[in-house]
Chain A
Amino acid sequence: MMKSNVSYPGQKRKEPISDTMLLMSITIGIFVVMYALAMIILKGGFLKPQMLFDMLNDNAYLIIISCSLTIVMITGSIDISVGSVTALVTMVDVMILNGNLHLFDGLQKALGVGEEFRIVFAAIMSLAIGLAFGVVQGYLIAYLEIQPFIITLAGLFFGRGMVTIISVDPQKAPQDLMDILQSRINIPFLGSPNKKGVIIPAHIEIGVVIALVILILVFILLRKFRLGRNFYAVGGNMQSALMLGVNVRRTRFLAHMLSGLLAGIAGFVFMMHVGAGNATNATASEMNAIATSIIGGTLLTGGVGNVIGTMFGVLTLTTIKAIVVTSGLRDPWWQSITTGAMLCFFILLQSVVLSRRGRGGFHLPPWLKKAEKKEGT
């Protein structure tokens, strides 16, 4: 358990663990138990380290947009446009790599650089699109005080619509560029033998590295920087943050800007993983990101949350899906039903835990209450 480094004179020695850390440690604990049980009972793929790395490879983009949602949710707001921003960025990037966008084609010829340089264009464009979404939404939400749900819903519609306006047909990036982007990073000492007994080293993609670096940066931002502390302050209680001299509007604006920027990066990472632009890319991933943030211990009410927990939320969600698939329930409906059941479990757990600590609190349903009274009398 981590403890606050600051000690005040006269403070009691034992400091109670904060809500954020409590919820996060519950998530980590459940993930570890679940994975261990899967290793013991299901064996198979779960014993190979590559299973874990594959989960990371497939969900690197989800880790990034979950980070952005965690930031926004800590501020007490919400952003449901991240999924379609991801899809839009993916489509634009693939078009740039294809050379279908004449502006960038001309720019490349004017600069006299090779085709590889298109990747740089794509990266810059991803950041630009993400930033544009973030700035516009942040301005409308923070300075014009419009409800974040509606604005980001418009962002969701706009992003999805723009994807099909750019191209209805699926687009594929050229293979030689994808070979560069999809180059694997081998981790030699974690290999596992395949059926012929040849040891294949475990590998991760570049996207995972990007995602982890972003995760660490966001963690440091939230923990060590004034801006990060302001996020918690604004989300915890906007009125008192205002009275303490926090620039609430600017803080909310920056949270949404950051979220848009991260969604742009997530689009680039998603493109690196799939290498194709498609209208159905990253569908409903905003809801997945909200779910992972909640599982990771972030509260939608604001002021509570941690990105490390969010990463374990992503891992827990993917582990559940992997367990469902490997245990033979191949019908497509099982995955979402188990996911829903698990969400229900985590949400109820959080509610009960927080009410035990005297925060939030819950009432018994009326019919249970009556039963209790009857028992009492």
Chain B
Amino acid sequence: MEKTMKKQSGFLTNYSQLLIPLIAVVLLVIFNLIRDPGFFSVGIAANNNGFPVLQGNLISILNGASELVILSMGMTLVTAASGGQDISVGALAAIAGSVFVKVLKSGPITGWSVIGGFVLCCVVAMIFGAFNGTLVACFRIQPMIATLILFTCGRSVAYWINGGATPTVESPIITAIGSFIPGIPIPTPILIVVVTGIIFALIFRFTNLGLYIQTVGINQGAARLNGINSIWIKLLAFIILGACCSIAGMINVSRLSLINHETILINIEMDAILAVAIGGNSLGGGKFRMVGSIIGAYAIQMLTITLYAMKVPSTDVKAYKAIVIIILVVMGSPVVKEKFGRFWSNMKRHRQRTGSLAGKEAQS
């Protein structure tokens, strides 16, 4: 009896981090299936160009969450390494998107100019990420404060890059990045997310980056004594987040085939931090599990799409979202878990006692 309980608790401590996001997803799925049994049905239909493509709520959830998932991957690393959050990701994505559009508008849009634009916007976003990282790692400023600078002025910089205009980019290549590659029925943003995820998985598999980031996040002094350069690790986390921002910005620009510096990925920083927190990662740094953040991001998008499907106006979604967030976070809070666990064990003990008493009575 005791052994099995120990095993159970071991299993729970290993995977308890993923419990909350998974519960959230399962609850949302059940809720949707009860409300509308055909909610998750996926169909194939011809799109405007005549190619057969996948359609349905499930696809729109997976597709719509792409930017959020990519940003929350980077945010997980920054949170784990620095113990704080980057609130400038939306602004950084706007800058990256502006640079991307600027390069595309400088000449005819060809495959090479798209690649060049992506590389350039990636480099620019990584430089800005390095700026944030320098403030955090070298000057030891709280990440939220350090990124407040770019949060304040980032969108204005994006506006300034394109000379105060909101240009549109029309090209079959951009459409292919933003919606569908001809002949492939899966939306391209989903493919980009999968590729990014595989890259991260390979990095964690073949390098010690994940371990180093955790070490720096848990105890910087101990990391230094073990020969880890904590400054470089923190800088690297911010630079990776910058690259993630540029990918997210590129996807969003291609999806809408225009850039509006005011509204592109607005408030996504809050959602990305939320995804990290719902994924069970401590916002104080240290241990992290990227899968949790990814599931958290999809849960947030699923919640949003569910609310839209229930005919909630887009401006009111925030209020309902807040209630769900609070319920989830309260469920995941250590104090509540402990209280619930104590209640559970008390119940068990009580049942055992009454059971043994009943057995004794039966014996006598």
Q: Please report A residues at the B interface, Cβ cutoff 8 Å.
A: 78, 140, 143-147, 149-151, 153-158, 160-162, 164-165, 168, 279, 287, 290-291, 294, 299-301, 331-337, 339-341, 343-344, 347-348, 351-352, 355, 360-366
Contacts and interface: CB of A to CB of B under 8 A. Distances in A.
A149 B270 CA distance: 10
Contacts, number: 146
25 contacts: A140-B330, A144-B330, A144-B336, A145-B333, A150-B329, A155-B322, A164-B316, A165-B316, A168-B315, A287-B151, A291-B152, A294-B148, A333-B157, A333-B160, A336-B153, A337-B153, A337-B156, A337-B157, A340-B154, A340-B156, A347-B135, A347-B139, A351-B141, A363-B138, A364-B138
Interface string B318-334: 11111101100110011
A149 B273 contact: yes
Interface residues of B, number: 52
Contacts of A365: 134, 138, 231
Contacts of B317: 161
A333 B274 contact: no
Contacts of B164: 331, 333
B130 to A, nearest CB: 10
B150 interface: yes
A144 to B, nearest CB: 5
Interface string B136-180: 011111101110111111111101100010000000000000000
A364 B321 CA distance: 43
Nearest to A148: B283
Contact of B156 (A78, A145, A300, A333): A333
A157 B313 contact: no
Given A150-B277, A337-B156, A348-B139, A157 B318 contact: yes
A340 B273 contact: no
B232 interface: yes
Interface in B84-139: 85, 134-135, 137-139
Given A160-B318, A161-B320, A340 B138 contact: no
B278 to A, nearest CB: 9
A361 B333 contact: no
Contact of A333 (B159, B231, B330, B335): B159
Given A157-B318, A279-B315, A340-B149, 9 more contacts: A149-B273, A149-B277, A151-B326, A154-B326, A300-B142, A301-B142, A333-B157, A334-B156, A362-B139
A160 B137 CA distance: 34
Contacts of B229: 366
Contact of A290 (B148, B321, B322): B148
Nearest to A149: B283
Contact of A153 (B157, B274, B313, B334): B274
A366 B319 contact: no
B148 to A, nearest CB: 6
A150 B326 CA distance: 8
B116 to A, nearest CB: 26
A154 B156 contact: no
Nearest to B159: A333
B322 A343 contact: no
A22 B333 CA distance: 38
Interface of A (DSSP majority class): helix
Nearest to A355: B140
A264 to B, nearest CB: 18
A161 B154 CA distance: 25
A161 B325 contact: no
B326 A153 contact: no
A154 B134 CA distance: 30
Nearest to B325: A154
A341 B153 contact: yes
Contact of B313 (A154, A164, A290, A348): A164
B322 A158 contact: yes
B145 A294 contact: yes
A26 B315 CA distance: 42
A168 B148 contact: no
B164 to A, nearest CB: 7
Contacts of B144: 78, 149, 300
Contacts of B157: 333, 337
A358 B181 CA distance: 58
Contacts of A145: 333-335
A168 B333 contact: no
A299 B329 CA distance: 27
Contacts of A168: 313, 315
A361 B140 contact: yes
B295 to A, nearest CB: 17
Nearest to B326: A154
Contacts of B145: 290, 294, 300, 347
Contacts of A294: 145, 148
Contacts of A339: 152-153
A21 B270 CA distance: 33
Given A154-B325, A162-B319, A332 B138 contact: no
Nearest to B278: A150
A363 to B, nearest CB: 5
Contact of A164 (B152, B283, B315, B321): B315
Contacts of B155: 336
Contacts of A150: 273-274, 277, 283, 325, 329
Contacts of A146: 329-330, 333
B119 to A, nearest CB: 23
Contacts of A361: 140
| In the A-B complex, the 5 residue pairs with the closest CB atoms | A161-B319, A340-B153, A161-B318, A158-B322, A333-B156
Given A155-B322, A162-B319, A347-B149, A144 B335 contact: yes
Contacts of A360: 140
B343 to A, nearest CB: 15
A91 B270 CA distance: 24
